[in-house]
Amino acid sequence: MELSRRRFLQTSALTAAGVAAAAACGKSSSPNGAAGGSSTISLWYWGGGLSDKVVADAVKHFTSVTVKTSVIGGDFKQKLLTTMSGRKFVPDVTGIKGEDIASFLPRAERFIDLNTLGADKLASQYLGWKWKQGSTQDGKLIGFPIDIGPTALFYREDLFAQAGLPTDPATVASQLASWEDYFSAGVELHKALPKTFLLNNVGSVFNMVVGQGTTRFIDTNNHFIGDQDHIRRAWDLALRPLQLGVDAKINDNSWNAAIGNGALGTEIGAAWHALDISSAAPGTKGTWRVAAGPGGPANIGGSFLAIPATSGNPKAAFDLISWLLSPQNQARGFTDAALFPSSPASYTLPALTAADPFFGGQKTIEVFGPAAEKIPVAYEAPADAAAAAPYFSELTSVETKGKSPDQAWADAVSQAKSIAAKQGVSI
Amino acid sequence: MATRSTVEPRPQPGSAHRRPAAGRARRRRRVLSYWPQYLAVSPFFVVFTGFALVPIMVTFYLAFHDWDGIGDPKYVGLSQFRYLIHDHTFWLALWNTLVIWLLATVPMLFIALVVASMLNSAKRLSGFYRVAYFTPSVTSLVAIAIFFFAVFSSQYGIVNATLHVFGVPAVPWMTNPWTIKIVIALLMTWQWVGYNAIIYLAGMQAIPTELYEAARIDGASAAQRFFRITIPLLRPIILFTVVVSTVTGLQSFTEPQVMFGSNAATNPNSGGPGQAGLTVMLYFYHQAFDNNDFGYGAAISWALFLFILLIVAVNWRLIGGRDR
């Protein structure tokens, strides 16, 4: 039979369709742990969310089960939500970012309470406030602590010296202990070095002051409290550097340039922020120091590992989690991926007590370690981030457009109330 | 394919009454015998159904529900739309979207026309020019947005550095609500001028040269030839580009999302200082994917759909209207 062009096209189209169909069937029928049960544990995390070296060791360490790891790119929370709502291909162990954990807690029934797998016996090894952050209000542990973000004051020792300010971390910590002390030091710094500002923008101060408190925008009774004194105080404090003229008003990526050319004399940030500074401004190596931050420590960032309820082998999944996040392996995570440990026992291990050349040989754990243990316990409601957003937008309006602070406050509160009410919070 | 049935010989009225089943079977056999053609066009419809039609239906369903992404959707009737009407941020986003679209589309299509007529008369290197103008529209939008952001950066951008050389004070491009919109519009203009110019060029080359020759003999100037011959004959093509630019321009999302994506943990996707870069699509994304309010996000996207429909209808009347 002669192969005409028509017949050739028909045959190849059919073959292609057949192959595609076979591939699709093959995919959907392959076991994903949930169906097959126990032999594989799938682990989802994002790039940098866990130490790749520790994960690689875990794959070798667990011989009775196969650990299948996937580094998920893009919007991690969104992809996790999508798979969980589709109830197919749900991982047996998944990372959850610190800013997302609150929105997953109301769905505790979709996860396994890790306390039922023996997590409660390990609780004493981890920081209490972090443990609470991963737990529901009735005490179910959903997220097992990976890392934390204790905050401190990063400052340029050389610029402080030129401005006649204290340079030694202990003295800086004691003399700049309150926000007002810190702002006055900023005025001196800016007077001596007109090109240098104290901090990048007012939103970062607001975020920090709110984080230092024990209450946020919504209380444990699901009632909106963003119009109360503790938030107003944070708002007023945030605007002080603007009024004093020591705010650099950086709301875009020019931060990278500013941090390198001395336009910023200090940064208040979490432990992991050191990596931002050293990669944006490698030329400033040795000039930075860390001291306990004004107004006390707060936490920014840090994540969790959780076991979705669909997991076929929760016992093995929990063994994997507790192995990955043991104090020893957390210390390795700090060296490998700058993940600050959530287990105080790690703080005395050599990986953390080493001197950091970027900070002129300072042992930064002496600042971050005590800060980590002093972070206040604060309840973060599922709608907290959504209700907080208007305050940041309005602060930026005051900062960049000169909007009147009182009007901005009124607008922020009314918007936050409307968003909170929409999310089911009582006003 | 659909027109094929009209070509078929119609069965006699009498016989059709007697044996309707046989006629239908024959017609079905005819339809089935076209299966390779159906198979050939099916990929589009399969993909369209899976990735466009079904999501659109689900979005419609969600717009009347309250859903956080994991739990069970709860029917709430029209309350998402009631909230939308009183939501200042939504109206701000709609205003931003409209302003950015106008600032981008009007100059873009005008410049595209000029560029097209220049390309049309280019004697040398015309292939190079066409490729050069078309390149931005196939360049990664994220890369362009990062580039524009750096160029217009308030403190260290090259634009302000250049202005400084000429003694002009620095413009706070990325903080002022109007300049933010101008920068986003400039980006969109720069990216899509070449694409539209190529479409206009194709239209211009279809205009018979006799018309121009006749006009020239009658003493028409170059400007007269452009406005009296080129523009009127291009009208269907202009309408096409206006409609396409409306549909895509009103859905701008990546530009502000990339430009003001920093500060993501505390205030994600806010649209920058004063929320001046907050477009409706970005606001939809923020509500659905940051606040987990998928019902409200769906309502926003349907509101945007209706708004785009309205603008397209207006365009249709304005540009295509004279024929009707």
DSSP A251-293: -STTHHHHHHTTSBSEEEEETTHHHHHHHH-GGGTTSEEEEPP
- Which of A400, A407, A411, A418 has the highest number of chain B CBs within 10 A, making it the mutation to test binding with B? A400
Same domain, A177 and A137: no
Determine the Cα–Cα distance for residues B125 and A53; give it in Å rounded to an integer: 55
Task: Say what the pTM is.
Answer: 0.84
Would the CB atoms of A401 and B175 count as touching at under 8 Å?
A: yes
Is-contact A159 A196, C-beta < 8 A?
yes
B262 closest CA partner among A233, A280, A371, A291:
A280
Tokens in use for B17? 């009454």
Q: Is A105 a residue whose pLDDT tops 90? A: yes
- Which of B184, B284, B290 has the highest number of chain A CBs within 10 A, making it the mutation to test binding with A? B290
Residue A321 domain flag: yes
pLDDT at res. B13 = 47
Q: Does domain B82-323 have CATH number 1.10.3720.10?
A: yes
Which residues from chain B sit within 8 angstroms of residue A388, using beta carbons?
A: 266-267
Is-contact A370 A211, C-beta < 8 A?
no
pLDDT at res. B14 = 46
Helix (H, G, I), strand (E, B) or coil at A244: coil
Q: Summarize pLDDT for A329-379 with one digit per residue, the tens.
A: 999 999 888 899 999 999 999 999 999 999 999 999 999 999 999 999 999
Q: CATH number of the domain at A101, please.
A: 3.40.190.10
Determine the Cα–Cα distance for residues B100 and B282; give it in Å rounded to an integer: 13
Residue A55 domain flag: yes
Would the CB atoms of A400 and B156 count as touching at under 8 Å?
A: no
Same domain, A166 and A242: yes
Domain with A80, as residue range(s), is 40-148+301-348
- In Å, how far are A139, A243, A303, B217, B274 from B176, measured between CA atoms? 47, 19, 36, 53, 8
Residue A277 domain flag: yes
Top-confidence residue, B69 or A265: A265
Q: Summarize pLDDT for B245-289 with one digit per residue, the tens.
A: 999 999 999 998 888 865 556 778 888 888 899 999 999 999 998
Same domain, A93 and A194: no
Same domain, A162 and A120: no
With pLDDT > 90 as the criterion, what percentage of chain A qualifies? 81
Is-contact B133 B197, C-beta < 8 A?
yes
Tell me the mean pLDDT in the region B1-12: 44
Determine the Cα–Cα distance for residues A268 and A204; give it in Å rounded to an integer: 8
Determine the Cα–Cα distance for residues B250 and B246; give it in Å rounded to an integer: 6
- Least confident interval from A169-173, A202-206, B5-9, B283-287: B5-9
Determine the Cα–Cα distance for residues B298 and B63; give it in Å rounded to an integer: 5
Determine the Cα–Cα distance for residues B294 and B299; give it in Å rounded to an integer: 9
pLDDT at res. A9 = 63
State CA B113 to chain mean position distance.
18
Kindly identify which residue of chain B lies nearest to residue A391, measuring between CA atoms.
Answer: B267
Q: Is B63 a residue whose pLDDT tops 70? A: yes
- In Å, how far are A217, A247, B202, B265, B267 from A204, measured between CA atoms? 17, 11, 53, 11, 11
Would the CB atoms of A301 and B265 count as touching at under 8 Å?
A: yes
A372 closest CA partner among A329, A341, A401:
A341
- Which of A151, A196, A252 has the highest number of chain B CBs within 10 A, making it the mutation to test binding with B? A252
Top-confidence residue, B189 or B1: B189
Top-confidence residue, A204 or A254: A204
Q: Summarize pLDDT for B76-101 with one digit per residue, the tens.
A: 999 999 999 999 999 999 999 999 99
Please name the residues in contact with A208: beta carbons below 8 A apart, sequence gap of 6 or more. A151, A268, A293, A295, A298, A300
Q: Summarize pLDDT for A285-295 with one digit per residue, the tens.
A: 999 999 999 99
Determine the Cα–Cα distance for residues B151 and B290; give it in Å rounded to an integer: 29
Residue A27 domain flag: no
Residue A353 domain flag: no
Which residues from chain A sit within 8 angstroms of residue B272, using beta carbons?
A: 251
How far does the CA of residue B3 sit from the closest CA of chain A (Å)?
A: 23
Would the CB atoms of B87 and A418 count as touching at under 8 Å?
A: yes
What would the 3-class secondary structure string for A150-185 be?
EEEEEEEHHHHHHCCCCCCHHHHHHHCCCHHHHHHH
Tokens in use for A89? 């291909």
* Strand pairing class (A66-71; A40-45): parallel
Would the CB atoms of A9 and B36 count as touching at under 8 Å?
A: yes
Residue A3 domain flag: no
How far does the CA of residue B274 sit from the closest CA of chain A (Å)?
A: 5
The DSSP result for B142-207, as a single string, is HHHHHHHHHHT-TTT-HHHHHHHHTTPPPP-TTTSHHHHHHHHHHHHHHHHHHHHHHHHHHHHHTS
Same domain, A288 and A273: yes
- Least confident interval from A413-417, B50-54, B147-151: B147-151
What's the total number of domains in chain A? 2
Same domain, A211 and A288: yes
Q: Summarize pLDDT for B227-253 with one digit per residue, the tens.
A: 899 999 999 999 999 999 999 999 999
Q: What φ, ψ does residue A303 adopt, rounded to 5°?
A: -130, -175
pLDDT at res. A30 = 38
ipTM: 0.82
Long-range contacts of B5-9 (CB under 8 A, 24+ apart): none
Residue A343 domain flag: yes
Residue range(s) in chain B whose domain bears CATH number 1.10.3720.10: 82-323
Same domain, A176 and A247: yes
